[in-house]
Amino acid sequence: MTDEQIEQLIWGEIKKRDITFHDMIGLVNENIDPDPQDKTMPSNKRARINRFSGSFGSERMQELLCVGKYCPYSYLPPLKVSFQDLFRFWWNRCVEQDLVIEEILDDIFSYFTELMRPAEKEEKEMDRTLDFTQVQVSFFSRDLDQAA
């Protein structure tokens, strides 16, 4: 899909489900006033439950783009758009590319810097291990002699 097709698909789903800006930012199960500018009716008469069942932005986008009925318990439901197309759309339309590239390059630099760091020399410590086969414990043998 092209970026334009993805955008049309998302707008189509938003219009089909009659989603408003307040649905996008409102809480789940919150009463939404679809037209707060309308003063002809009291807001409690216009109010309705939020159209989304997902809590966060990513869940709400999954809900918009999932194939079939959305299940909030499904970790990653199949979407109408491939991951590659979504990533390209995000890259082309949603991010400040210079800032993202800078972050990515910083992460790559940190990764290789850490790999190139010389190994730290271990400080010599006193050997604290005991070999009990070499230790003679006299009170055991004395106790055994008295028991016999």
Average pLDDT over residues 108-119: 94
Does residue 8 fall inside a structural domain? yes
pLDDT band at 51 (very low <50, low <70, confident <90, very high): confident
DSSP E strands, 6-93: 31-32, 48-49
Burial class (CB within 10 angstroms; exposed 0-12, middle 13-18, buried 19+) of 60: buried
Tally of structural domains, the chain: 1
From residue 5, alpha-carbon distances to 22, 77, 80, 103, 131 in Å are 25, 20, 11, 29, 74
The rounded distance, in Å, linking the Cα atoms of 83 and 81 is: 7
Does residue 94 fall inside a structural domain? no
Token code pair at residue 126: 């006193």
Average pLDDT over residues 82-102: 93
- Per-residue pLDDT at 103 exceeds 80: yes
Does residue 141 fall inside a structural domain? no
pTM of the model: 0.64
Does residue 25 fall inside a structural domain? yes
Residue numbers of the domain that contains 41 = 3-81
> Residue 137's pLDDT is what?
64
- Per-residue pLDDT at 100 exceeds 70: yes
> Of all residues in the chain, what percent carry a pLDDT higher than 70?
91
Does residue 139 fall inside a structural domain? no
Does residue 16 fall inside a structural domain? yes
Question: Is the CB of residue 47 less than 8 Å from the CB of residue 23?
Answer: no
Token code pair at residue 114: 């850490």
Does residue 12 fall inside a structural domain? yes
Average pLDDT over residues 90-119: 93
> Of all residues in the chain, what percent carry a pLDDT higher than 90?
39
